Chain A
Amino acid sequence: MHRIIAKKLLAPSVYMFVLEAPLVAKAAKPGNFVMVRADEKGERIPLTIVEHDEKLGTITIVVQEIGASTMKLCEYEEGSLLADVLGPCGKPTKIEKVGTVLAVAGGIGIAPLIPQIKEHMRVGNKVVTILGARTENLYVLRDTATMVSSEMILCTDDGSCGFHGFVTQALEEYIKSGKPADEVVAIGPVRMMKACADVTRKFGVKTTVSLNATMLDGTGMCGCCRVTVAGQTKFSCVDGPEFDAHEVDFDELIKRQTFFREEERLALDKHRSGEGCRCR
């Protein structure tokens, strides 16, 4: 069992948790994630490790409520116990000194990006973070991002703050301006990552994305997270989750993410109705 040491509301429907997970805390690296199962009946869901403290034996995760499992998780309070936290999963991010890195985040994509930004800064890269939200009060971890990056470009879809438009437009303008852009990392909704890949492909800038394929075990034994990269099938939980954006078949990924839509709706309705369990 894993105790919740702290819980904090970051933005509407977005919570940060600090969890007791000594095994994970000891081995975690930027880019790794954990598989969390809240209780006996819960789903195993992947969540990125945003921070870890080996001495305290804790990890930090940021969760956005989007369906039954994440909503259930966000109902847990400080002090309560989660059934399972497994990790660290996935290949750590490859971080080398390259010059200027553009870190592009949509929504809570910034959470998994923060450990990478820090690591890029540590090895001596300049990091320009392009952070997007629908509207100003929906930013997640904006202050932390500002603190750890060399430069911030804020964007909102409605123009309420910073650049008026999508992060992809800001990204394109930045690269067009001719300022150095040696590498791009983009994390967020699949459609946003796909659009970023389309932009950077034109300019030939190396781009990495973190794919949020549906996962089951997270340890490479089911193939449910398979994605096509450079024409080959990869398991994103063990071969990724990060891949070269220019080689990913995003359309396939988008389709695969919709497979359980009906079931997800059913689970959500059941969760919202607060109806108890009828099976033994």
Chain B
Amino acid sequence: MSVRDFSARPEMPKQSPEERARNFNEVAQGLSEQTAQAEAMRCLQCKTRPCVAGCPVEVPIPEFLALAAEGKFIEASLKIKEKNSLPAVCGRVCPQETQCESVCTLGKKFKPVAIGYMERFVSDYERAHSKQEVERRAADGAPKVAVIGSGPSGLTCAADLALMGYQVDIYESLHETGGVLRYGIPEFRLPKNIVDREVAYVKQLGVRIVTNAVIGMSIGLEELLEKEGYSAVFIGTGAGLPYFLGIPGENLNGVYSANEFLTRVNLMKAYKFPCYGTPVRIGKRVCVVGAGNVAMDSARTALRLGAEDVQIVYRRSRQEMPARIEEIENAEEEGVKLNLLTNPVEIVGDEQGIVKKMVCQRMELGEPDASGRRRPVPVEGSEFEIEADTVVVAIGQGPNPVLTRNTKALGLNKRGYIEINDDYGATSIPGVFAGGDIVTGAATVIAAMGAGKQAARGIDQYIRSRS
């Protein structure tokens, strides 16, 4: 065998920017078997396992890499699944650069092991090659647990509880499962057949999923505990309430929340209108306000729907942009323009009430604010106009209010998120646990999964302590 080259981290093969900016197929193409095996061999198998501590769900990284280094890709994938039931998703959307890979020992001298690419590779490999069905757990007679929401927190909590032997039912308000993985993150970054596959895995564990069931409207939370016979409930309803800017002109035609825009396209497949019934209107000149992952996804989606000019409008500078670096680079390569240190102050429409332009103000960075980021301050007299026929507002989301509003006994914080009392997500109502974006505010897929995992442990302890 040849000498290991520790500096040789592979690049992810991608569709070319010109090509991909016009289609919805996945941008990243995945590593080859050879490259993947070679990359796995770069791992030093550190005894202290710093990478594992960098992962919110403690994926056994050195162990799965060791298996992959031997070419045992299916086994490697199953190894990850001991801790992470959604590896094909996490390998694609985790911010590895600030988590597992940021603390990899190899990163000190060379580049960190491409843990995300590897996780993606082995789980895709398993999907393509394994015929082995995971056995359905017989759980009749076991205590019942209800999980509200089928986003990453709910799916993880449900999978873990099923593995512990509980009967688990997920209640989801939309007609499809996956939460943000389905309606938010676009096909070109996370193909929906991957989400389908991950959900199918959770179902194989014996989890039952009820769609079109809004808890708080179709069934009350208390009813689940008191009438439906559930011993405990997990709430993973996410942060799906879109925030608006609160500036004049925001209700004009052509102004979408990112949630509306992405839901139309991803969940309802408006890019296939009129074959699919839900329309989406996209103009020639699109402004996306905000600079997180949601904003990048909206901008790149707008390009793919045929917009000629797509700009990100953000009031701080590049350094403060919350989106993953990889996604900002991808967006720029595809032709998305960044209009930084720019703050919209008004949206102006024509006589029919359709967006025509956006009035903005230049900003400069002042003193750091509470979040430690330098506060943007407006530059006097710097107003200017951007012509636009579509504006997508992607400045953040709040807690989904339907359940919390209709469940008075549930303790909330000032901002409307559910308050938890311990590391396991226990809420003010005994037997009711919560986790994910509905507790923390909009965060990451993996953090939501971590919370779902912790809650599964909490629920297990709670039910055991009572029997």
Spell out A's residues near B (CB within 8 Å): 23-24, 26-27, 37, 41-44, 68-69, 72, 83-89, 216-217, 219-224, 226-228, 233, 238, 252, 255-256, 258-260, 262-264, 266-267, 270, 277-279
Dominant secondary structure of chain A at its interface with chain B: mixed
Contact residues of B between 189 and 241, Cβ < 8 Å to A = 211-214, 217-219, 240-241
B375 is an interface residue with CB less than 8 A from chain A? no
Decide: A222 and B277 in contact? CB cutoff 8 A: no
Decide: A221 and B400 in contact? CB cutoff 8 A: yes
B84 is an interface residue with CB less than 8 A from chain A? no
Decide: A86 and B173 in contact? CB cutoff 8 A: yes
Question: Which of B45-53, B113-121, B260-268 faces chain A?
Answer: B260-268
B444 is an interface residue with CB less than 8 A from chain A? no
A226-B251 contact in complex given A216-B263, A233-B244, C-beta closer than 8 Å = yes
Alpha-carbon gap, A89 to B175, bound state (A): 14
Which residues of chain A come closer than 8 Å to B250, judged between CB atoms?
233
A259-B281 contact in complex given A23-B213, A85-B212, C-beta closer than 8 Å = yes
Of all chain B residues, the one with the shortest Cβ separation from A27 is: B218
Decide: A223 and B259 in contact? CB cutoff 8 A: yes
Interface centre among A37, A86, A221 (most CB of B within 10 A): A221
Which residues of chain A come closer than 8 Å to B272, judged between CB atoms?
279
A267-B274 contact in complex given A23-B213, A27-B218, A217-B263, C-beta closer than 8 Å = yes
Decide: B242 and A41 in contact? CB cutoff 8 A: no
Of all chain A residues, the one with the shortest Cβ separation from B217 is: A88
B247 to chain A, nearest CB (A): 11
B56 is an interface residue with CB less than 8 A from chain A? no
Beyond A23-B218, A221-B241, A267-B274: 9 further Cβ-contacts under 8 Å?
A27-B218, A88-B217, A220-B400, A222-B263, A227-B251, A228-B251, A256-B253, A259-B253, A259-B281
B265 to chain A, nearest CB (A): 11
B230 to chain A, nearest CB (A): 16
Of all chain A residues, the one with the shortest Cβ separation from B271 is: A279
B411 is an interface residue with CB less than 8 A from chain A? no
Decide: B242 and A221 in contact? CB cutoff 8 A: yes
Alpha-carbon gap, A227 to B402, bound state (A): 18
Which residues of chain A come closer than 8 Å to B354, judged between CB atoms?
259
Decide: B277 and A41 in contact? CB cutoff 8 A: yes
B174 is an interface residue with CB less than 8 A from chain A? yes
Alpha-carbon gap, A87 to B253, bound state (A): 27
B226 to chain A, nearest CB (A): 14
Contact pattern, B 381-422, Cβ under 8 Å of A = 1, otherwise 0: 000000000000000000011100000000000000000000
A109 to chain B, nearest CB (A): 23
Of all chain B residues, the one with the shortest Cβ separation from A257 is: B253
A84 to chain B, nearest CB (A): 4
B243 to chain A, nearest CB (A): 9
Which residues of chain A come closer than 8 Å to B352, judged between CB atoms?
255, 258
B257 is an interface residue with CB less than 8 A from chain A? yes
Which residues of chain B come closer than 8 Å to A252, judged between CB atoms?
251, 353
Contact among A69, A84, A256, A264 with B212 in the assembled complex (CB-CB below 8 Å): A84
